[in-house]
Amino acid sequence: MQKKVVEFTNILRKAGIRVSVSETIDAFTALDEMSVDDRELFKDALRTSMIKRSDDIDSYDRLFELFWSGFHDQLRDEMQSALGGLGDLDFDALMEQLQEMLQNMDVDLSALAQSLISMDLDSLEQLIGAAGEGVEIENIRNMLQIGFFSRRMLEQLDLEGAQGELRSLMDQLREEGMSEEDLRKLGEMLNAVSEALRRAVRQFTERELDKHNHDYMERFRRESLQEKSFYNLTEDDLRRMRDVVTRLAQKLKNIVTVRRRRERRGKFDIKQTIRKNMAHGGVPFELIFKRRRKEKPKLVILCDISSSVANVSRFFLQFGYQLSEIFTKIRSYVFVAELGEVTQIFRDKDVFDAIDEALDGGDVINPYTRSNFGMAFEMFWRDHLAALDKRTTVVIIGDARNNYNDPKAWALRDIHSKAKNVVWINPESPGAWGFGDSVMDKYLPYTDVAEECRNLKQLSRMVDHLVL
């Protein structure tokens, strides 16, 4: 057990989690006082001994499952899926007939062929693990090597040789009197099981890559999510995207903090420095900087919450409120046709709960009507124009699909003239702006920045316009 714990410790270190020798010894001590049969207690004991930072808990949990959980469940799922694709095959009856015939036959099969024909999952799991050790699977480094290592494992298993043995076995079964119909069914089953084994080997390789290069895989997942269109996000993507947005917001906040600290220092003033150091014979012992105070900007967000842009609104609101330290004040409004303010919701609730409530509309507006940007802009002009000044950046999130209503571009013109700048985030390609019921071309003259934004990478660039 101690050897396995040391291996697990090394995998944690490769993933960037710092585990000292003394913490590993603490884990040994904890295991001496408890039974490893209680999986959750075992997991908690190792985590308590080895993990110091809350940011490492998610990586630890994933690596624990990869390292301490067997491959059995995934192998079983692959085999069940393969058999399920054979329609009304009576698997049990076919296996019973096969076993009866094999008892009276002199058959010498390899371990893999025996495991395939008997569907022995425990044996298949051991054979796959041994093949992994044989090709030194722990040396896998990136996604491009998955195919290479999978092929080498199949060669190590000698799948082609096992398939040849099984074809010879079917010829013997034909001679022993098995009907052509049953032979056809057996052939279909063996082909399906062999393909399932191929898929299982690839899954095993992917697991090993994730286990031994977790940091690389996490970066790959984050980068993939950043480029995935908001329109194609699954529920699992939405959950994982929250973590990615949080990391990007923190990174951006750190950059802005450093830049503003430098700005507060000011530019070097050579004239004043020379004048100040005349008493020192012109030697610049004292440096003078031109200091200028740069005030934090204000932010006003107008979010279209119709279904076509809901995910863009969701992640921009999360970005905005996690960057709240950078802005003096943030005010948020949602609209489909009528406009309603949701600023107080964000003051009273956790940011994620507030976003869900804001995008639901609820008692603030009717979210089930048809989009009308002109009405929303006119309502803002009428009721909230006084909230703007020359320190205010207005961000509009929407596709400008106005259902052929009056765009009332004059309202956006007045908003633009009073604000510092207007930034428009549109999930549609610029090639679609102004066509059909899009009135984006009517609004463009009254924006300072208007860009397509359909994934997180584009969204983070848009946020740069606000704070850098």
Per-residue pLDDT tens digits for 178-214 = 888 888 888 888 888 888 888 888 888 888 877 766 6
pLDDT at 445 over 90: yes
Residue for token digits 């997991």?
A: 43
pLDDT computed for residue 221 by the predictor: 62
Measured between alpha carbons, how far is 318 from 323 in angstroms, rounded to an integer?
A: 9
User: Is 462 buried (19+), middle (13-18) or exposed (0-12) by CB count in 10 A?
Assistant: buried
Q: Coil, strand, or helix at residue 396?
A: strand
Measured between alpha carbons, how far is 78 from 387 in angstroms, rounded to an integer?
A: 60
pLDDT computed for residue 438 by the predictor: 92
Name the helix (H) or strand (E) containing 132. Answer: helix 121-134
Task: Please answer whether residues 376 and 335 qualify as being in contact, where contact means their C-beta atoms are separated by less than 8 angstroms.
Answer: yes
Q: Coil, strand, or helix at residue 451?
A: strand
Task: Please answer whether residues 443 and 411 qualify as being in contact, where contact means their C-beta atoms are separated by less than 8 angstroms.
Answer: no
Strands (E) in 336-420, as ranges, are: 339-341, 392-397
pLDDT computed for residue 227 by the predictor: 72
Beta bridge partners of 130: none
90-99 pLDDT tens trace: 777 777 887 7
Regarding predicted confidence, which is higher, 269 or 389?
Answer: 389
pLDDT at 462 over 80: no
pLDDT computed for residue 23 by the predictor: 79
Pairing of strands 392-397, 339-341: unpaired
259-288 pLDDT tens trace: 556 555 556 777 777 777 877 777 776 777
pLDDT computed for residue 68 by the predictor: 66
pTM for the model: 0.52
pLDDT computed for residue 263 by the predictor: 56
